[in-house]
Chain A
């Protein structure tokens, strides 16, 4: 029988594993540094998750601020509706990406970040363009708000599904001629390639452990949820910690935690506690909904559905396909990182990837969460659905919601569709009573 999920979710404290607690502390320290940056004289740059140049920023001692992460954090804290409304009053239409509106609304409401501290004004707006056109418009808006310079890195789209020498050179040239000189100007320091190499080496170490964690979902039961849970696992590496010793330590500990779960044949930890028996293994395409994140996750975990792979956990880098930051080729490696982000991939490449995940992780089916806000993600998703179904022979499901606008999360509809989808999977399974009787 259905339960009033929101009430249940609100009533109990979410279960967290030790890596989550550790991550929370890391984030708190980072935001504390940001809040004090004007006193300490530390510089900050606003930048995006896909194609972020964390190591380069670190090599200049610049602190990253990620507006998308702030927007999703606002949603998880229940503030995004109010921020979106502020942005709409300023004239942003209903159809504008809700990450943008939440960020603009937060900015106009005092720019208080997820830890309750005020974020510093940026010293630099570092715009890595990796497939999302909205990023450019977003930073145009931020440019009007701040006096900071904008440095734009144009990353060419991987239309043919591969990175050519010309594409790599094009990005490296921009790093050399535009991005690095701007960083030098903003910080008053010279580019230090040795420092960058050190950071990249640390990145690669953390990336190895992250990949091991993501690949652990090949086990039965999967010890992790690679969509909802992975949001936490990719947190440090996608945001401000890639290239730091802190991230290396975090991922080492996380890997040990997950290895232990594998050894004990445990399933994922969900906010409601240890998950019950694994009934369905699902691959998910599309970002999650953040306003009802816990309720959304519960709709899966209640049904015994574990997400064993997701494309969303790759928006900040496709490490599981083998990419590593490489200290021996610092700028080339940063260029390849930007070119390879999931948001920069073509539809055929995305289809190949989902089919590969279905096989590699022995998934029963795949689900697409089509978000209203994000044309980069949503355009072509019905085509992806049909193609992946045809090529993999596994059933796809389609649900619709939004990133951070609670008005587009219709819990009853989504629950209804998910239940129908899981029951469809159940019915297609050869052991199902319904199927046996039908044949």
Chain B
């Protein structure tokens, strides 16, 4: 099967989208960006190709005539088991690397290896409950999931065993880089897919056959386009790089063909883009000499408040009296936040004010790019934050009247989707 891939190397996460020759998305992958761009791209692509094989399974099941509800249930179960298998595989790699690092220490407590064994054994025991049906996970990244459990268990062990917490945490920090950079640790679809089916109590023969066929399908890359911001060096050949402005414009158009204005708020930049009826960019503006008011601002606020990034939006949405925050400078915002808290303002009211502040900055950028035209599509990681979305909607209404605001569940993949469309077009252009 032939496919084209688009990779968006963002400042926070790297995303990959795999397209079939019919221009329909087959798979998506996401991973933390890191200093090694090539590894980030390779991991995102590996994830997207795993996701692609899930799509193939889904198509096989559809062809077999199973009703939609039954198919959805089978796929959900397959994915749950698959992710648990993948987690186990990464956990084994973590075990191996932590142990190796611990052996290299010049001086180490006598009980260190026993303590590490206990922590990792307990983590392995928890996999079933972590991936139990209906269980909620805070993140899809191994680093986050394993990290929070490892550190919690290490804290317990440090108290009871006398082995220093810092030592245990330091070993994890060293090991996790290696584990998450290893494509082998996240495994292959054929191995985890088959193991996932085997773990089911009564695996459906149709599913089993579909997984086998999907695993056996040869995937052949016919084109790739990379995009990414503010990098002196991207791990793609020059002819295969497109600006993320064009990629976001085209990606938004592909998601919502009626799009005329796109706002993308990513980790370190905000983009206001105007596109025509073909998704071709006609003008754009980006944040200027500083990155105040971008996604990273919310990350910093979350850290300041000891909250997860995903917890900010829901908390801010509880606000009844948003406070007025003027500064979108990330550094000043921290000081303003502490000041407001000391004055007795509620956390949710402060957070609502902070969300409005970043959207106000985006409004200025939109105005500079030529205003807002119907339909308006909001993309980037911040589009997942409901408090930011509601501040945006109300400011759009105040300034531009009623218009259709599009937000896709997959908005974070917009740039990669646009890049994959360019890759497919390039491949078609070469073939023609």
Contact = CB atoms under 8 A, between A and B. Distances in A.
B241 A1 contact: yes
B280 A437 contact: no
B211 to A, nearest CB: 35
B285 A427 contact: no
Given A1-B233, A1-B237, A4-B232, A427 B425 contact: no
Interface string A1-17: 11110000000000000
Given A1-B236, A2-B234, A413-B289, 7 more contacts: A400-B288, A412-B231, A419-B243, A420-B244, A428-B282, A434-B280, A435-B280
A417 interface: yes
B428 A427 contact: no
B281 interface: yes
Given A1-B236, A1-B241, A382-B368, A433 B229 contact: no
B284 A438 contact: no
Contacts of B422: 434
Nearest to A410: B289
B282 A416 contact: no
Interface of A: 1-4, 372, 382, 386, 389, 395-396, 398, 400, 408, 410, 412-413, 416-417, 419-420, 423-424, 427-428, 433-439
Contacts of B285: 398
Interface in B413-429: 422, 425-426, 428-429
B246 interface: yes
Given A420-B284, A434-B422, A434-B425, A439 B278 contact: yes
16 contacts: A1-B233, A1-B237, A1-B238, A4-B233, A372-B289, A389-B283, A416-B243, A417-B286, A423-B243, A423-B246, A424-B280, A428-B282, A434-B250, A434-B280, A436-B429, A438-B280
Contacts of B299: none
B278 A424 contact: no
Given A437-B428, A437-B429, A412 B284 contact: no
Given A1-B237, A412-B231, A420 B280 contact: no
A437 B429 CA distance: 8
B242 to A, nearest CB: 6
A419 to B, nearest CB: 5
Contacts of B282: 395, 424, 428
A3 B231 CA distance: 10
Interface string B273-307: 00000111111111011000000000000000000
A413 B280 contact: no
Q: Which 5 A/B pairs are nearest by Cβ-Cβ distance?
A: A420-B243, A433-B429, A420-B245, A437-B425, A438-B278
A416 B232 contact: no
B415 to A, nearest CB: 12
Nearest to A402: B289
Contacts of B164: none
Given A423-B243, A428-B280, A413 B231 contact: no
B234 to A, nearest CB: 7
B13 to A, nearest CB: 18
Contacts of B429: 433, 436-437
- In this complex, the interface size class of chain B, counting residues with CB under 8 Å from chain A, is 20 to 34
A202 to B, nearest CB: 44
A435 B278 contact: yes
Nearest to A390: B370
Contacts of A386: 370
Contacts of A436: 429
Given A413-B230, A438-B278, A438-B280, A408 B243 contact: no
Given A434-B422, A437-B425, A424 B230 contact: no
Given A1-B237, A437-B428, A437-B429, A412 B232 contact: yes
B225 to A, nearest CB: 10
Given A1-B241, A438-B278, A438-B280, A420 B428 contact: no
Contacts of A395: 282-283
A416 B229 contact: yes
Contacts of B288: 400, 413
Nearest to A419: B243
Nearest to A389: B283
B245 A424 contact: yes
Nearest to A401: B289
B230 A408 contact: no
Interface string B243-286: 11110001000000000000000000000000000111111111
A361 to B, nearest CB: 21
A2 B245 contact: no
A286 to B, nearest CB: 14
A386 B241 CA distance: 28
A433 B242 CA distance: 13
B11 to A, nearest CB: 11
Contact of A1 (B234, B245, B279, B283): B234
Nearest to B248: A420
Interface centre among B229, B232, B244, B370 (most CB of A within 10 A): B232
Contact of B246 (A396, A412, A420, A433): A420
Nearest to B367: A382
Contacts of A433: 425-426, 429
B246 A427 contact: yes
Contact of B230 (A398, A400, A412, A439): A412
Interface in B151-206: none
A303 to B, nearest CB: 11
A400 B233 contact: no
B422 to A, nearest CB: 6
Given A382-B368, A395-B283, A424 B232 contact: no
A420 B280 CA distance: 12
B231 A2 contact: yes
Contacts of A416: 229-230, 243, 286
B99 to A, nearest CB: 39
A427 B233 contact: no
A414 to B, nearest CB: 10
Contacts of A435: 278, 280
A398 B286 CA distance: 9
A410 B280 CA distance: 27
Nearest to A425: B281
Interface string B204-243: 0000000000000000000000000111111011100111
Contacts of B234: 1-2
Interface in B343-371: 368, 370
Contacts of A434: 246, 250, 280, 422, 425
Interface centre among A4, A396, A423, A427 (most CB of B within 10 A): A427
A3 B368 CA distance: 30
Contacts of A1: 233-234, 236-238, 241
Contacts of B425: 433-434, 437-438
Given A2-B231, A433-B429, A437-B425, A424 B281 contact: yes
A396 B281 CA distance: 11
A410 B282 CA distance: 24
A436 B288 CA distance: 32
A188 B347 CA distance: 76
B430 to A, nearest CB: 9
Contacts of B242: 423
Given A1-B236, A1-B237, A386-B370, A427 B281 contact: yes
B271 to A, nearest CB: 9
B278 A396 contact: no
Contacts of A419: 243
B246 A408 contact: no
B148 to A, nearest CB: 33
Interface centre among A410, A416, A428 (most CB of B within 10 A): A416
Contact of A2 (B233, B280, B286, B368): B233
Contact of A413 (B283, B284, B286, B370): B286
